[in-house]
Structure 1
Amino acid sequence: MAGIEKYIAIAALGLFVMFAGEINVLYNYLTNPNVEVEPEAKILMYISIGVAPASSLAGTAFIMAKRYGSRQIGGLILAGGIVLFAGMLSANYMIQNIDPNYRVYTVETIPPLFMGVSFAVMAAGAFLFRTKKRPIKEFF
């Protein structure tokens, strides 16, 4: 059935969880910062080590599994999208509590942006539930 694409989807799920956690920890810290920090740089770093590779891995797993369809891989990709959406929704609710000095464009834009990305990831996972196995034609 599913070979390496299952492990790629698991890695994508882990990276989605990591990114959501990092953003929520940063936003929680920005509500009452003890040390001055640049939120734009931190967020860019979190995107480059978290959600960008996670999206690439989810897309790779989707492309590898779309030919035959897999509920397991689709479920993992769907779970990654749900985790990303829930994490960004939580971060979005924290924005109003962030210190006004740190409430910059990047901090306010990232949660809605990645909520949109999460819908695309969830759609890709849901597509794999719908895909049926193609019959193998035997010519000889």
Structure 2
Amino acid sequence: MGLEKWLAITSVALFAMFAGEMISVYHFMTNVPEEIEFSITFEPDPKIIQFVSIGIAPAGVLAAVAFIMSKHYGSKTVGGLIIAGGIILFAGMTVSYSMLNSIDEKYLTDAVKLIPLLFMVLSAPVIIVGAYLIKHKKLRPKKEYF
């Protein structure tokens, strides 16, 4: 397996990790235990920024590098993996966004409201890039007979 396939696999794993992290922090904000609520203050913005820098930023970079490495010849495997990463990102952000109604008002900040929407929109270019790799075919070199 080429390096670009391993990079695409890693990017899918990081997309899934980011979606899982966001779902877990949104689930925590819907069900904050009382003993934690009164003993510590929970700020969701730094945690979300941490998840973005740990999960989605490296996932996007790895998907971009895999795309750049295979864009000249096209790759159905790499394209499919990048599409899978975009779908996982979209699904995770959809689940996170659906949890907004049950989150307590004191945890609803601009980042909590806008991050799922932002990454739902940004999952579309990821899927388009993957589709480009699937559709792109390697050009045959011209044979020189003389």
Number of equivalences: 139
- CA deviations on 1:9-62 (whole Å, 9 max, x unpaired) are 000000000000000000000012133311000000000000000000001101
Q: Which runs of 4+ in 1 moved over 3 A?
A: 137-140
1:12 match = 11
SS in 2 for 1:77: helix
2:50 match = 45
Q: CA–CA distance in 2 between the matches of 1:91 and 1:119?
A: 17
Work out whether 1:3 is the aligned partner of 2:8.
no
Q: CA–CA distance in 2 between the matches of 1:32 and 1:4?
A: 42
Question: Which amino acid counterpart does residue 83 of structure 2 have in structure 1?
Answer: L
Q: CA–CA distance in 1 between the matches of 2:28 and 2:143?
A: 61
- Equivalent residues in 2 for 1:88-103, closer than 5 Å: 88-103=93-108
Question: Which amino acid counterpart does residue 91 of structure 2 have in structure 1?
Answer: A
State which of 87, 102, 112 in structure 1 corresponds to 2:92.
87
2:72 match = 67
The answer for unaligned runs of 5 or more in structure 1 is none
Work out the percentage of aligned pairs sharing the same amino acid: 47
1:77 match = 82
Which has the larger Rg?
2
How well do the aligned residues superpose, as a CA RMSD in angstroms? 1.3
**TM-score after normalising by structure 2:** 0.91
Q: CA–CA distance in 2 between the matches of 1:47 and 1:107?
A: 12
2:139 match = 134
Work out whether 1:110 is the aligned partner of 2:115.
yes
- CA deviations on 1:83-114 (whole Å, 9 max, x unpaired) are 00000000000011101100111000000000
Question: Which amino acid counterpart does residue 116 of structure 1 have in structure 2?
Answer: V
Q: CA–CA distance in 1 between the matches of 2:116 and 2:135?
A: 29
Report deviation, 1:136. 2.8
